[in-house]
């Protein structure tokens, strides 16, 4: 499926404009701070994943509270006390059968205020620690490393030259079951080289086979840009290279804070956190970016919110941080963290951590939004528009399919062009019928069983070849993507000489 994040496969167009989808948010957050160890907030990192070993979706998230006592796994160990107002951060686990309704299991790993009935999996070493991304690596040959964790924290061990145990930076840890971790935080990159963002692609990149992380390069004076690092083994990472920066058309207070990304078809879709570092108003918003090779990302519609802030007073009305994009059959499910208070600004001043929330109390939560599969960015015709693709190779019997949304009274039709740019007889727009629904697209037909497959011949004598163009007519419709022919080449044999 060729998705229309850009004009890579568009030869000509008229009467259309590029638009973003409108994800539909759940009315209420799916995870809220309703436990004592979540007193200050809950905050997602990576989105959830389906864990085949337990037959459920798992979601790891961060929580914070002040001054509570906690003991890790050993009830006979001295109680780990901290001063009353000292924040403590935890990584917690939620589980779900369907990805929407979540529960918090009592794991018995930590003693919190005298009870082990909690869902705490890890504890961070400071107020700004435990940015832990957790993923399940089904291809990992060593069972004890099947679950991988990566986050900014204080290390317990390092093999990096010039660093020592206790230094802060990106650390990794491993677990055989996602619950029992080694507790050995190996430093893989120091904060001398990067700042405190550690967004991780949720698996090896399908194009490169490498682990990919979007670490922020260290700059002075501090300003936030997205970087790009890769690793073959999850432990040795390249130094961050610049990936995405604001441009001259952006507001001077604009900074790029982090990004959640996932494979969507042959592309990577990214939800970039845009930080408005303005002392008067410092929210976080989300912008859509994409990549065709996994290495170079572009902004789809610059300076346009993809997942908008919520209405005034809602839990997500001042800050949204995208956590993950989950392929859920006919839809993409987008998980995000929302706050009703601003990030705070540090532009030329100490960080304003305590910006006043909207309403009488602070609200946080993890939210869920949905869009039909592939409906991220497309070309919209408010009235009549035409789009003509570049030349396409057409093999197999699958025919032609599009991802599209038609407004009330709208429609989309197609005609097929031969290698000379002429409409193939019998495959004109006035003969075209679009059939199907939200289940991964509309299919075209031209009557008498004609689907546009290679080799088909119409009653008018028109023959569909292996090289064609599509000319698409849109009326009050948005086109998000198209494909034609077989997804893969069929097996064949070379005749003996």
CB 255 within 8 A of CB 270: no
pTM of full prediction above 0.85: yes
Scored b (16 or more CB within 10 A) or e, 468-495 reads bbbbbbbbbbbbbbbbbbeeeeeeeeee
Which residues, listed in sequence order, are joined to residue 315 by a DSSP beta bridge?
none
The single residue listed with the structure tokens 């859509």 is 288
**Per-residue confidence (pLDDT) for residue 497, from 0 to 100:** 38
Strands 186-190 and 168-175, sheet pairing: antiparallel
Q: What's the pLDDT score for residue 495?
A: 42
Report pLDDT for 77.
Answer: 64
Half-sphere exposure of 476 (CA within 13 A, CB side): 6
The predicted pLDDT at position 132 comes to 83
What sign does the dihedral 352-353-358-359 (CA atoms) show? Answer: negative
What pLDDT was estimated at residue 350? 67
**pLDDT tens digits for the chain (497 residues)?**
899 999 999 999 999 999 999 999 999 999 999 999 999 999 998 999 999 999 999 999 999 888 777 776 666 666 666 666 677 889 999 999 999 999 999 999 998 888 899 999 988 876 566 568 999 999 999 999 999 999 988 888 998 999 999 898 999 999 999 999 988 899 999 988 888 777 999 999 998 999 999 999 988 888 999 999 999 999 999 999 999 999 999 999 999 999 999 999 999 999 999 999 999 899 999 999 999 999 999 999 999 999 999 999 999 999 999 999 999 999 999 999 999 999 989 887 766 665 678 888 899 999 999 999 999 999 999 999 999 999 999 998 888 999 999 999 999 999 999 999 999 999 999 999 998 865 568 999 999 999 999 999 999 999 999 999 999 999 999 999 999 987 655 544 334 43
Convert 36-63 to b/e letters by CB count within 10 Å (16 or more is b): ebbebbbbbbbbbbebeeeebbbbbbbb
Instruction: Please give the Cα distance from 100 to 59 (Å, whole number).
Output: 11
* Distance of alpha carbon 273 from alpha carbon 279, whole angstroms: 18
What are the boundaries of each domain within the chain?
2-10+378-484, 22-372
**318 contacts: CB under 8 Å, gap ≥ 6:** 283, 284, 309, 339, 340, 341, 342, 355, 357, 358
At residue 66, the pLDDT reads: 81
* Beta strands at 400-417 and 319-328: parallel, antiparallel or unpaired: unpaired
Please list the residues that pair with 441 across neighbouring strands.
Answer: 437
CATH 2.115.10.20 corresponds to the domain 22-372? yes
| Three-state DSSP class for residue 445 | strand
Q: β-strands 157-158, 186-190: how paired?
A: parallel
Looking up tokens 């490498």 gives: 210
Residue of 41, 81, 35 lying closest to 62 (CA atoms): 41
**Which residue, among 127, 133, 129, has the nearest Cα to 156 in the 3D structure?**
129
Element (H, E) at 149: strand 147-154
């Amino acid at each position: 499926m060729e998705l229309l994040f850009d004009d890579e496969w568009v030869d000509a167009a008229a009467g259309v404009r590029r638009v973003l989808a409108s994800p539909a948010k759940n009315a209420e957050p799916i995870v809220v701070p309703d436990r004592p160890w979540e007193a200050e907030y809950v905050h997602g990192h990576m989105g959830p994943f389906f864990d085949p070993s337990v037959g459920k979706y798992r979601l790891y998230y961060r929580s914070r509270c002040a001054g509570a006592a906690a003991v890790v796994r050993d009830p006979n160990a001295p109680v780990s006390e901290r001063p009353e107002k000292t924040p403590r951060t935890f990584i917690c686990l939620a589980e779900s059968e369907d990805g929407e309704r979540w529960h918090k299991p009592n794991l018995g790993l930590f003693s919190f205020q005298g009870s082990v009935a909690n869902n705490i999996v890890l504890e961070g070493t400071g107020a700004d620690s435990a940015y832990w991304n957790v993923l399940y690596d089904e291809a990992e040959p060593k069972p004890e490393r099947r679950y991988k964790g990566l986050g900014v924290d204080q290390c317990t061990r390092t093999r990096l030259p010039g660093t020592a145990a206790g230094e802060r930076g990106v650390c990794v840890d491993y677990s055989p079951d996602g619950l029992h971790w080694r507790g050995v935080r190996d430093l893989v990159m120091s904060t001398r080289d990067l700042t405190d963002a550690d967004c991780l692609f949720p698996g090896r990149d399908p194009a490169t086979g490498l682990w990919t992380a979007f670490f922020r390069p260290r700059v002075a004076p501090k300003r936030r840009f997205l970087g790009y690092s890769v690793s073959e083994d999850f432990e040795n990472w390249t130094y961050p290279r610049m990936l995405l920066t604001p441009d001259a058309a952006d507001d001077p207070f604009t900074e790029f804070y982090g990004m959640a990304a996932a494979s969507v078809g042959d592309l990577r879709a990214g939800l970039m956190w845009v930080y408005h570092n303005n002392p008067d108003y410092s929210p976080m918003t989300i912008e859509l970016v994409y990549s065709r090779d996994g290495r170079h990302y572009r902004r789809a519609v610059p300076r346009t919110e993809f997942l908008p802030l919520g209405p005034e007073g809602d839990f997500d009305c001042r800050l949204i941080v995208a956590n993950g994009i989950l392929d859920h059959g006919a839809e993409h499910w987008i998980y995000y963290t929302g706050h009703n208070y601003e990030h705070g600004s540090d532009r030329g001043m100490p960080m304003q951590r305590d910006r006043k929330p909207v309403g009488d109390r602070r609200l946080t939560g993890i939210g869920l939004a949905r869009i039909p599969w592939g409906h991220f960015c497309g070309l919209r015709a408010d009235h009549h528009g035409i789009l003509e693709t570049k030349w396409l190779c057409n093999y197999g019997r699958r025919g032609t399919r599009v991802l599209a949304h038609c407004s009330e009274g709208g429609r989309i039709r197609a005609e097929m062009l031969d290698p000379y740019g002429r409409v193939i007889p019998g495959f004109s727009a006035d003969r075209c019928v679009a059939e199907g629904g939200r289940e991964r697209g509309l299919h075209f037909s031209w009557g008498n069983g004609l689907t546009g497959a290679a080799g088909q011949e119409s009653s008018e004598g028109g023959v569909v070849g292996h090289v064609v163009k599509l000319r698409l007519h849109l009326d009050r419709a948005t086109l998000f993507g198209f494909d034609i022919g077989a997804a893969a080449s069929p097996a064949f044999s070379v005749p003996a000489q």
